[in-house]
Structures are given as structure tokens and as C-alpha cells.
A and B are shown apart, each in its own frame.
Chain A
Amino acid sequence: MTVIECRGLTKDYGRNRALNGLTIKIEENKITGLIGRNGAGKTTLLKIIAGHIKETAGEIKVFSERPFNNLTVSANVIFIHDQMNLPTALNLMEILEAASSFYENWDQALANRLFDYFSFNPLQQYNGLSKGMKSTFHTILGLSARCPLTLLDEPTTGMDAAVRKDFYRALLKDYLAYPRSIIISSHHLNEIEDLLEDILLMKDGKEHLHLPAADFKEWAIGIQGKTGLVHEWTKEREILHTKSMGPDQSYVVVRNDLLEHELQKARATGIDFSPVTPSDLCVYLTSKSKGGIDDVFNKD
């Protein structure tokens, strides 16, 4: 079953276009990583899916319904983000109780165990929590609600490394026990890439690549060697990234469509091939200009 389907989805904020004709399809019971640079439109897409904001043009269907102002979508989607407005009058335990009264699949036992594990004080006020603790508390809400579609927008903002690791593990375990569709947006792709089944890379309000994570790892390849040789090798190919590695040494990233005999021939001439990690690949694919930050400082 298709959980989310968008066609030509566009969203304008005043004169600023946040989404620009996005067309995607997300299948049921998958963990999808939503990756993109700041301002690529990740949060806007999630807000539209959650029904918080209305699309300007195009079409979006969540569970085959339009999400804006839709009770069924709201009942089956939980949207966790770092600017959540939780009631200030309730303490943490009361917030969990309120959530449990709303969500039908809510697992109070899980919520309590996570609550204890991350050593929250039940009587504490939400506003007194630190940034990382707030994020942790949000993720407890997100996991315990067991919604068929869970949207996590930068869920690890402010968390320390230990908590992040725990959270990823908790997410994976709960997902395996209760498979559901999860979309997680994050800047730490290297941390979450093992969780993901699909990667959706966004650029300038559009989908750029939507691939299974396994394919993503082999989508590109890094070539390193003498500059002349490397250039010879890559001149017919689509170059994603180039970097000078010192005198007469170059590193170039290209689409991985080389054949086995080509690889062997190249290795014989002294060229090294290396896999490109998904997080590096995302940086290369979404870079706004050729070259890197180094070029800003190279005036000549």
C-alpha cells in the first residue's frame, strides 16, 4: 500500500518557494530517510503530510486522503519536531496521559519504560527541560504513539551522542516489533544510514534521488590517482565532485556505472577506487556550486 503520494507538490511562503513540484511515492512499513541541506524543503514537506499547512499547488494524498484538516490523517500520523507546543500547565506524566487518551495504539508501558530509562522526573514541567531532554521527550511521544505513519523531523536536535545512539536503537527495535511507516529527517546521515531502507534526497524543494539505501551506497564511486590519469578517466562521465589531494593527485567522484573490466584496467594504471559513503554523497549531490568552501578562500 502506498502511504504517501505527491504529484507536483508546491508550497509558497509569500514570494519564497519552499517546495517546487515534488513528486514522490512512499510505500508502507518502511523507514525512509529524508535528507537535504538546510532550506531544501524537508520540514515543509513533513508539515504538509501532517496536515499542518496547505499545499499551494499540486496534489498530496496520505492514506489516500488529502491531509489538510483531515481527522483520519491526524489520527494516524504523529509529527515530532523540535518546536512542538506542549501544554505548559501539565507536568511530563500528565502530558503522556493526555497523549494516551488521544492515540488508540498508545503503549503506556513502553512510554513508562522509556521515561524511566532516560530518567525523567514525572512531576517536572516541560518548559524546564533542556533542549536535548525536550527532544528525548518528544521521541518518547513519537515512539509510544505507534501511529501507522510517524514523522520525525530532526528528532535528535540537542541530544548527546549516547542518547542519540539509544534512540536509534529504540526506534529500530520498536519498528521491528511493530512495523510501520517512519520518515526521519536528519543531518546525521552517517548515524542513521543503517536504520534506513529508503533514502529520499531533496534539493531546492524537489526530490533529487529516491533510492533504497543499499543502492545509494553503490550509486557513486570515488577515483583517486595522478591528476592527468584521473582526468583521462572521467572526462566522459558525470562528475559529482572534484578535489585536489596535493601535488598532481586528484580525487573525483562519478556515477558508479563502470564495468568490471574497466575497473581492472584502471587499477593497473595506478588509480584507486573507493566507495563513497551516503552522507558524503549527499553533500556532493546537494552542493550548490562547484568546488567547496576552500574555493571561497582561494582568491587566485
Chain B
Amino acid sequence: MSLTKISLLSTVKKQYRYKLKAYVQVFMTLVFLQLLAILFTLNGVGMAGSSSEWVEVDVHYYSADIVVFFTMMWGFITAILITTKAYRNDDFVFITNRLSSNLSNLLFLLTASIIGGLTALLSTYLIKVIVYFFVGQLTIDSTNVVSAPVELLLGIVAATFYIILFSALGYFVGTLVQIHKAFVVLVPALFFGSLFLGAVSGYEKTVTNILGFIFTEPSILLFIFKIIVVAGMLFSGAFVISNRLEVKQ
């Protein structure tokens, strides 16, 4: 029987197509989480009120913030999930090497992030409809696609990139855990430790600066650039450390 020669690109393509089908549960989780987030949103994400003797005014703000936040968490957890043994070893049933497996995971996470960002932002309209019909009261200010198409698009892009960042973080953390179980404890310890110790030892400025570097960037292009660099570093880090990982049952 003659040997089959196969290129990395075609393997990655096959694996990507296969993963979209095999990891479908990930998207079911997304739907569930976003519905849950919408439920929490219906209480209003912000509130202001004033009253005088005769008039009482309550202003509720509704937005997709909670949905976006939940979707970011979903991206993080999904990325960790697909680095676990059960998912990683799936690849080794068929044709793969570590690089093609990682690359197809990357493509899958990018796709998932886009779908997550899109649905999260579009949930605004679902929230509006639900508020209009079931929560009642008077809607004073509301944007719509026709009046602000660019804002919606920017929102989708920004949300997508946030989710990409979180899934890159998740993928890196998940891969670390696959290298050694000790990271299950070390990574959260490092994270919370830096928050608390940062505050105690006067380094809180550093911690907030690191977070602010990404979360308070006013220019969308610069923001995208920063995320691509950071996520790229996290993904390449994960690729390098997982390249020597063995298949364990």
C-alpha cells in the first residue's frame, strides 16, 4: 500500500470542519448562558431615581453588558475545555500532530468568538423587545440599527476581540494545567494573589495599569492591535508548551 502524503494546511482544514461539528455542545452552552444573562439584565443594569412630593422618577438602564460579560466567561471556559484530555485526545483518533491540533483549535476559538460577539450584541434587540412587552413602562431612549449602524458594528467587533482575548487566556491556562496539575492551584493563586497583594503592598497602580492597558483603550484600531498581540503571545505560548505533550489515557 502506498503512503499518503498530507499537508499541514489540509489537515488543519479537515480538523476545523470536524471540530465545528463535534464541539457543537459549546454553542448550546452559549445559548443557555446568554439567555440566563438576558434574564439577569431584565432587572436593569443601572438605575437612577429621584422623587419630589408629587412626582417619582425611576430610570432603568438596559444594555447587553451582562450578556457580553457572560460571553467572555464562556469564551474563557470553552478554551479551557478544549484543552482537556477528552477533547485533545479526540484529535488523536484521526490524523493529527500537535501543531495542526492547536491551529484548528485556534480557528475554532476565533469562530466561536465571532459567533459569541455577534449574538451578544444582537441580544440588545431581544432585551428591548422583552422590556417593551413584558417589563412595560416607557422607553425614552433607544438606539436602533438604522440610526447607528456603525456603533453596532463597533460593538460587535469590540465584543468579539474581548472574547478572543479571554479565550486565548483560557487556552493558555488550560494548556498549562495539561502540563502539570499543580497549575490548577497556582494560576488562580497568582491571579487573586496579585489582586490582594497588589492592593496591600502598594502595587495596585501596576495591576490597574496592566488591566487598563487593554480595557481603557479609546482607539478601536489600537485596541484591536493590542489584543492581537496579547492573544497571539498567549496562543503561541500554548503551542510551544503543548508541542511536547504526550497522549495519556
Chain A residues close to B by CB (< 8 Å): 29, 47, 50-54, 63, 69-72, 74-76, 83-90, 94, 98-99, 101-105, 141, 146-148, 178-180
Contacts and interface: CB of A to CB of B under 8 A. Distances in A.
Interface stretch (B91-99, B107-115, B120-128, B215-223): B91-99
Given A63-B3, A75-B6, A179-B1, A53 B246 contact: yes
Given A71-B8, A103-B94, A89 B1 contact: no
A180 B97 contact: no
A76 B97 CA distance: 13
A148 B247 CA distance: 22
Contact of B6 (A51, A52, A72): A72
Contact of B93 (A51, A71, A72, A86): A86
A75 B99 CA distance: 14
B100 interface: yes
A83 B248 CA distance: 10
A86 B243 contact: no
Contacts of A84: 93
A69 B14 contact: no
A14 B171 CA distance: 27
B205 interface: no
Would you call the interface of chain B mostly helix, strand, loop, or mixed?
Answer: loop
Contacts of B249: 83
Given A69-B243, A71-B6, A148-B2, A86 B90 contact: yes
A53 B247 contact: yes
A69 B18 contact: no
Contacts of A104: 4, 6
A55 to B, nearest CB: 11
A99 B94 contact: yes
A275 to B, nearest CB: 35
B97 A71 contact: yes
B1 A85 contact: no
B180 interface: no
Nearest to A80: B93
Given A75-B6, A86-B90, A47 B247 contact: yes
Bin the interface of chain B by size. Answer: 20 to 34
A239 to B, nearest CB: 39
Nearest to A48: B246
Contact of A54 (B25, B99, B246): B246
A296 to B, nearest CB: 32
B95 A74 contact: yes
11 contacts: A53-B247, A71-B95, A71-B96, A74-B95, A74-B97, A75-B11, A76-B4, A84-B93, A85-B93, A98-B22, A146-B1
List of 5 A-B pairs having minimum Cβ-Cβ separation, nearest first? A52-B247, A87-B22, A85-B89, A102-B94, A148-B1
Given A89-B22, A89-B25, A103 B1 contact: no
Contacts of A71: 6, 8, 11, 95-97, 100
Interface string B165-205: 00000000000000000000000000000000000000000
Contacts of B244: 54
A101 B4 contact: no
A85 B90 contact: yes
Given A53-B246, A90-B22, A104-B4, A85 B11 contact: no
B86 interface: yes
A51 B2 CA distance: 20
Could you say which of B4, B24, B85 has the most chain A C-beta atoms within 10 Å of its C-beta?
A: B4
B78 to A, nearest CB: 14
A16 to B, nearest CB: 14
Contacts of B2: 148
Interface in B1-41: 1-6, 8, 11, 14, 17-18, 21-25
Nearest to A29: B1
B6 A178 contact: no
A145 to B, nearest CB: 9
Contacts of B4: 72, 75-76, 104-105, 148
